[in-house]
Amino acid sequence: MHKALRLVQLCCILIGSLLSSVASATGLQYNMTRGVTPVSHAQYDLHMTVLFIVTAIGVLVFGLLIFSIFRYRKSKGAKAATFHENVQIEVIWTVIPFVILMVLAVPATKTLIAMEDTRKSEMTIAVTGYQWYWHYEYLNEDISFYSNPATTAEEIAGLVPKSGYYQLEVDKPLVVPTNTKIRFAFSANDVIHAWWVPALGVKRDTIPGFINESWAVIEEVGTYRGQCAELCGVRHGYMPIVVEAITPEEFEAWVAEQKGGLEEVIEESEA
Amino acid sequence: MGDHHHGPAKGLSRWLLTTNHKDIGTLYLWFAFIMFLVGGAFAMVIRMELFQPGNQLVSPNTFNQLTTMHGLIMVFGAIMPAFTGFANWLIPMMVGAPDMALPRMNNWSFWILPFAFAILLSSWFMDGGAPNFGWTFYAPLSTQGPPSTDFFILSVHMMGISSIMGAINVIVTIFNMRAPGMTLMKMPIFCWSWLITAFLLIAVMPILAAAVTMLLTDRNFGTSFFDAAGGGDPVLFQHIFWFFGHPEVYIMILPAFGIVSEILPTFTRKRLFGRVSMIYAIVAIAGLSFIVWAHHMFTTGMPVIAGLFFMYATMLIAVPTGVKIFNWAATIFRGALTFETPMLFALGFVFLFTIGGFSGLMLALIPADIQYHDTYFVVAHFHYVLVSGALFSIFAGAYYWLPKWTGTMYNETLGKFHFWLSAISFNITFFPMHFMGLAGMPRRIPDYALQFADFNRISSIGSFVFGLSQLLFLYIIIQAIRGKGKKATDEVWDDHPRGLEWTLSSPPAYHTFETPPSEKLVEEHH
Ligand SMILES: [Cu+2]
């Protein structure tokens, strides 16, 4: 039994390292991102836990199946056994999965409760989905703007080479501070969209007439990209999201600049 | 007794007017296969467009129409009618009945389908084109859908009527027409799986009808069930749709469980392990299917407590599903195995459906689902369940009973070739989709970021091979129907397969069990 467990472990490690070496050799991402928020970390950990568990069960079940397929061939003279029920074993394989599920339910429940707790947020950004672009509004800051996809028609048609962030670029990214609890308030103007940035661990439907909430504390400076994740019409595939996380100090400067820019515009129009 | 009791009528009227369960089964199966090729052709175009990043072949709107029609055709046109075809052919032969209980209704429930799908497919040629909002037709996107949406609604109503009549027929046949001595507990497990499926159909097809009717009135008669501006709620649509949609998932997999549970004992030469717990597991899965619908909606935002309820209930489904998989494994364990084509597909089912079950469990966990939801991970999941699950069981069943139905053995070498081509190309197509989804590719997009290009190319190549392999299946079946092959014995398979259908001649007479089988025969064959 001990040996079998070690073998399972070894197989998992082998497969895991094989995949990661292939991935690093080709620059291919094949697994969920660990992301840059406490929530995305917890999601990733839960994902890896359940992946490990199903892999282990898979190795056992498939191992038994493959063993049987090779061992009990009629062509090799196998005679069929006559057993066709065994209450004891049937109870065991009803109860063990149940116990495994309870083990999984604990971290899943904890993470879910944390994910839904939008209290004590330090700022709120209203995100509105439109066919087919996003609108961001920094509540309390008097800043708002549209964020439009920036991939050109020529790139899509293949007339010019595609840029590195093809289909994941916008004209004006959402700028946010790191290490700040940001509350998002989601809504939509026309049909349902879904605002998804994998690295933030946030995916929420934006529903016309209703407000949805989520939150993120981004722990690392960087640019994070995502896409609309709910079919929303013809250009659903062309609704990228870009989030630029900068330090709180830089963010303050950015806010001032936005407001300054706004005042200048107003002064100009008044003049 | 008139002449009509001796054989089928001649010509087209045989098929138009038939009330014979075997003819109607054949009609259902051919209809399903044609729809499978149509839906498959749509999938081929989808995969061609996704072969590389950029917009090559079809416009984004056409792409959305293709994904919508692919889903609708495969679910309602291919998988469900194929299982109904099996039910028609097999249930009377398995329970020792002369025909289905309501033969004229049976004729009607089939003949609605070609018209329903003619209406649905004709929407391609209407102003504004075919429906383009996905097979789940979420409001308010579908409220604003093209004019053909109203025709789509009509065709869904027709499909629903057809399914309900088919289900009533199955239930009445099973409850009233079993041969003496065939108690419910002795009834073949395929009949059990269909009995439960039929109840699910009757329970949820009216819900689907309600959803499309509310959509119809929202579109045309000024109601606002799904429009917040008029006091409605777009999420209400999703609740109604998935209250139908989740049991629907099991409608498409329970008969598959039944078919595989019939086939494994024959080729392992052992009785099905844990037959009683298999039946309980089917009932448990069907029961749970009514209280898990919101797991399709975890990103819509629901109270934590509701989320927890739906997560736990969904996780629970893993228990009876696990029981089924373990029981199949125990059936194979210490058998005397041979690997004819039906067995290969049944084994393929057990392996690959299990992978779909694993990803299903992963999807149940809300925090992880937030990342998986509406990505290619989900696309991979439900194709493991519906292609290597439902469809593989249909292939397995077709090869298993075809010699009985036609009296001719299909070409075994070609059959095995069909299996290996299908199984390998299926995995090449759909396994990389797990990776794409985890890496962040949303589903239902006609174009994608460069990082997804490699996996998409692999997937497309696999899908082309998979698609072409199915033409081989067509060829094999036609050859068997035309009698090109060895003559099948009455028992067809070695070592006395169980089931009353094997006591009949191959092919069976046009009318069978006009006098019910003896209790002794029933006892020997259960
Ligand atoms: Cu969108």
Q: Can you tell me the mean pLDDT for A258-269?
A: 65
User: Distance (Å) from the C-alpha of residue B520 to the closest C-alpha of chain A?
Assistant: 21
Q: Which residues of A are less than 8 Å from B60 in CB distance?
A: 234-238
Cβ proximity of B455 and B51 under 8 Å: no
> What's the full length of chain B, in residues?
526
Residues of B within 8 A of A75 (CB-CB) are 338
Cα(A193) to centroid(ligand 1), Å: 4
Q: Do B301 and A205 touch (CB under 8 A)?
A: yes
**C-alpha B246 chain-centroid distance:** 13
When pLDDT is cut at 50, 70 and 90, the band that residue A9 belongs to is: low
pLDDT at B226: 96
pLDDT of residue A17: 58
pLDDT at A10: 56
Q: Are strands A143-147 and A181-188 parallel, antiparallel or unpaired?
A: unpaired
Question: What value does the mean pLDDT take over residues B198-208?
Answer: 97
**How many Å apart are CA A210 and CA B302, to the nearest integer?**
12
Expressed in angstroms and rounded, the spacing between residue B207 Cα and the centre of ligand 1 is 27
Record: contact B138-A231, CB cut-off 8 A = yes
**In this predicted model, what pLDDT tens digit does every residue of B314-332 receive, in sequence order?**
999 999 999 999 999 999 9
Q: Which pLDDT tens digit goes with each residue over A87-122?
A: 999 999 999 999 999 999 999 999 999 999 999 999
Stretch A50-60: mean pLDDT:
96
* Residue numbers of B between 324 and 383 with CB closer than 8 Å to A: 325-327, 329-338, 347, 350-351, 354-355, 358, 361-362, 365-368, 370-371, 373-375
The encoded tokens of residue B380 equal 């991979």
Expressed in percent and rounded to 5, the helix, strand and coil fractions of chain A are 45, 25, 30
The domains of chain B, with CATH numbers, are 23-524 (1.20.210.10)
d(CA B463, CA B50): 11
What sections of chain A are H helices per DSSP? 2-26, 38-71, 87-115, 153-157, 248-270
| Interchain CB contacts (distance < 8 Å): A and B | 279
Burial tier of B108 (Cβ tally within 10 Å: 0-12, 13-18, 19+): middle
DSSP B337: B
Which tokens is B495 given? Answer: 């070592």
- The region of weakest confidence among A48-52, A140-144, B167-171 is A140-144
Contact B460, B453 (CB under 8 A): no
Please determine, for residue B184, whether its predicted confidence score (pLDDT) is greater than 80. Answer: yes
Asked if residue A12 has pLDDT above 90, the reply is no
Does A205 sit within 8 Å of B333, measured CB to CB?
no
Strand, coil or helix: B141: coil
Active site (annotated) includes residue B99 = yes
Q: What is the length of chain A?
A: 271
From B478, B470, B479, B477, select the one nearest B41 (Cα to Cα).
B470
Best of A15, A20, A100, A230 to substitute, by most chain B Cβ atoms within 10 angstroms, is A230
Output the CA A109–ligand 1 centroid distance in Å: 29
Dihedral-angle region of residue A34 (phi above 0 means left; psi in -120 to 50 means alpha; beta otherwise): alpha
Distance, CA A134 to ligand 1 centroid (Å)?
8
Q: How confident is the model at residue B379 (pLDDT cuts 50, 70, 90)?
A: very high
Alpha-carbon gap, residue B324 to A130, rounded angstroms: 46
Tell me, yes or no, if B155 is annotated catalytic: no
Q: Please give the pLDDT value at position B11.
A: 86
Question: The tokens of B460 are what?
Answer: 């497309």
Q: How confident is the model at residue B9 (pLDDT cuts 50, 70, 90)?
A: confident
Residue A177 pairs in a beta bridge with: A246
Determine the average pLDDT of the residues in B153-161: 97
Whether B248 is catalytic: yes
In whole angstroms, give the CA distance from residue A161 to residue A135: 29
Confidence at A260, pLDDT banded by 50, 70, 90: confident
Q: Mean pLDDT of all residues in chain B? A: 96
In sequence order, the 6+-apart residues with CB closer than 8 A to the CB of A264 are none
Residue A5 has what pLDDT? 47
Q: Is B250 a catalytic residue?
A: yes
Known catalytic membership, residue B321: yes
The order of strands in the sheet holding A212-217 is A143-147, A133-138, A123-130, A181-188, A212-217
Supply the pLDDT for residue A141. Answer: 87
**How many CB atoms lie under 10 A from the CB of residue A151?**
19
| B377 compared with A15, residue with greater pLDDT | B377
What integer is the mean pLDDT of B331-358?
Answer: 97
Three-class secondary structure of residue B272 per DSSP: coil
Q: How far apart are CA B420 and CA B50, in angstroms?
A: 25
| Mean pLDDT of all residues in A24-40 | 84
CB distance B256 to B389 below 8 Å: yes
- Per DSSP, what are the bridge partners of residue A206? A193
Distance A47 CA to ligand 1 centre (A): 26
The yes-or-no verdict on residue B516 having pLDDT over 90 is: yes
Tell me what pLDDT residue B43 has. Answer: 98
The yes-or-no verdict on residue A266 having pLDDT over 80 is: no
User: Cis before residue B507, ω within 30 degrees of 0?
Assistant: yes
pTM of the model: 0.94
| Percent residues over pLDDT 70 in chain A | 86
Q: How many Cβ atoms are within 10 Å of B515's Cβ, its own excluded?
A: 8
Q: A217-254: buried (b, 16+ CB within 10 Å) or exposed (e) per residue?
A: bbeeeeebbbbbbbbbbbbbbbbbbbbbbbeeeebeeb
Comparing A269 with B64, the larger pLDDT belongs to B64
Beta bridge mates, A225: A242
pLDDT of residue B4: 47
Amino acid in position B203: A
pLDDT, mean over chain A = 89
Catalytic residue among B163, B197, B359, B512: B163
Using CA atoms, how far apart are residues B313 and B310, in angstroms rounded to an integer?
5
Most B CBs within 10 A among A59, A82, A236, A239, hence the mutation to make, goes to: A236
Tokens of B9: 């009528």
Q: How many Cβ atoms are within 10 Å of A18's Cβ, its own excluded?
A: 10
**Total Cβ atoms within 10 A of residue A23:** 15
